[in-house]
Structure 1
Amino acid sequence: MAIATGSKAPDFTLLHKNDSGLSDVTLSDNFGKTSTVLIFFPFAFSGPCEKELCSIRDSISEYKNLDAQVYGISTDFPFALAAFASSLNVDFPLLSDCNKEASASYEVLFEEALGMKGVAKRSAVVISKDGEVIYSESSEDLGQWPDFDAIKAALV
C-alpha cells in the first residue's frame, strides 16, 4: 500500500543524469508552482517498464496540459536511467532513488523482488501544487500498470 491520500508529500532530493552531468531534483521545488506525478517503476530495461514509460511518453502532452510535472523514479543508478530514457526517447526526468529513501518514504519499496533487495513497486502518486498527496496507488504485481485515467482525473 502506498502513502495515504491527504498526507503531506514527503520531500526528497534525487539524482538525475542529463547531458550536462548529474543534477539534484528536489520535489518541493515544484510546490506552489505545479502538480507532480511520481511514477515509481521497478527495473530499467525490463519489458513492462519500457511499455509503461512509453505509454506516459506518448501522452506527456496531456500531463503538461494539466499543468503537471511527471517524474519516473526507480532504484536503478542514474547512469542506467539516462541510457534507459535515451533508448525510449523519454523526455521527462527519470530520477534515481538508488539509496531507496524516496521509495521507502512513499511506502512503495519491496524488501525483495525477484531475488533483489530494495526494488521500487510499480506505483503512482499525484501531488497537488500545495504538496498534498491527492492520488496514490501501488501494486504488489510487478506487471500491473497504474491507472493512467485515474491519475489524469486526479489532476483535473
Structure 2
Amino acid sequence: MLTEGDTAPDFLLPGTDGEAVEPYAMVEHVDRGPVVLAFYVFDFHPACTEEVCSIRDLSWFDLRPEASVLAVSTDSAFSHAAFAREYDIDFPLLSDSTGTVADAYGVRDSDVAGHGLVARRSVFVVDDDWTVRYAWDADQPTDKPDWNAVKDALDAL
C-alpha cells in the first residue's frame, strides 16, 4: 500500500455522479487542489453505503471547494450510477473494473466474500504535487476511517 510521502499514481477511469458515465482523470483533480481518494468494496453493501454516505455528509468539504473527492470500487459505472442516485451522492464514483488502480495504490484484495477482484476500504489524501499526505487501509471490510485525521491532513496543506 502507498504510504505518506509516496507519489500517487495518475489514472483515467470511467465514473459517474449519478448522471452520465464519463472519463475521470486524476490529473484534472490534482491540478485543482488536494484530492481525497476513497476506495470501497461494493456499491450497496451496508458498510460501504455507510462509508460513502459519511463522505457525502462531511460539511467541511463545503469549506474547501478546491478539494476533490473521488470514490473508487471495482463495480461497474452503471452500478455506481444507481448507487449515486439512490443515496444522493454528489461526488464521482469511479469504476476500476480491472483492479489496475487498486493495484497501483496497493489496496487490491484477492478475495472478499467470494469476490476475487475488489478494492479494500482505504483513504488517501493527495496534494497538488502528487504526494500522499495521508494513507489509511482497513484491516477488515467493516473498519471505518478516521475522518478527523483526513480533515487534519487537508488542513495541513
Q: TM-score range by the shorter chain?
A: over 0.9
Residue 35 of structure 2 corresponds to: 36
Match of 1:83 in 2: 82
Separation in structure 2 between the aligned mates of residue 89 and residue 16 of structure 1, nearest angstrom: 15
Q: What value does the CA root-mean-square deviation take over the aligned residues?
A: 1.4
Aligned AA for 1:79? F
Equivalent residues of 2:136, 2:145 under 8 A apart = yes
Relative to structure 1, the CA distance from residue 31 to residue 56 in structure 2 (aligned partners, 3 Å threshold; closer, same or farther) is closer
The letter for the 2-side match of 1:136 is A
Which residue pairs with 1:109 in the alignment?
108
Q: Which structure shows the bigger proportion of residues in strand conformation? A: 1
Instruction: Between 16-25 and 94-103, report the one with greater CA deviation.
Output: 16-25
After superposition, the C-alpha distances for 1:55-79 in whole angstroms (9 at most, x for unaligned) are: 11111x4124233100111100000
Q: Is the 8 A contact 2:4 2:133 kept in 1?
A: yes
Shift in alpha-carbon separation, 1:105–1:81, aligned structure 2, 3 A: same
Matched, 1:14 2:24: no
Counterpart position of 2:63 = 65
Aligned to 2:91: 92
User: Distance between the aligned counterparts of 2:46 and 2:18, measured in 1?
Assistant: 25
Question: Secondary structure of 1:112's match?
Answer: coil
**For the structure 1 residues 97 and 148, does the alpha-carbon distance in structure 2 shift closer, same or farther, using more than 3 Å as the test?**
same
The whole-number CA distance in structure 2 between the counterparts of 1:19 and 1:103 is 22
CA distance in 1, matches of 2:30, 2:52: 24
CA–CA distance in 1 between the matches of 2:13 and 2:62? 22
Structure 1 residues 18 and 139: CA distance shift in structure 2, 3 A: closer
Cα distance in 1 for residues equivalent to 2:19 and 2:40: 24
Taking a change above 3 Å as real, the CA distance of residues 45 and 132 of structure 1, as seen in their structure-2 partners, is same
Q: Report the CA distance between 1:20 and its aligned residue.
A: 5.8
TM-score (norm 1): 0.93
SS at structure 2 position matched to 1:152: helix
2:124 matched to which residue of 1? 125
Query: Using the alignment, how far apart are the partners of 2:151 and 2:113 within structure 1?
Result: 31
Task: Give the 3 Å change call, closer, same or farther, for CA 115–23 of structure 1 in structure 2.
Answer: same
Q: Deviations over 1:123-156 (max 9, x none)?
A: 0000001111110010130001111110110001
What secondary structure sits across from 1:53 in the alignment? helix
Structure 2 spans left out of the alignment, 5+ residues: none
Query: How many corresponding residue pairs?
Result: 154
Query: Structure 1 residues 127 and 64 mapped into 2: Cα distance closer, same or farther (>3 Å)?
Result: farther
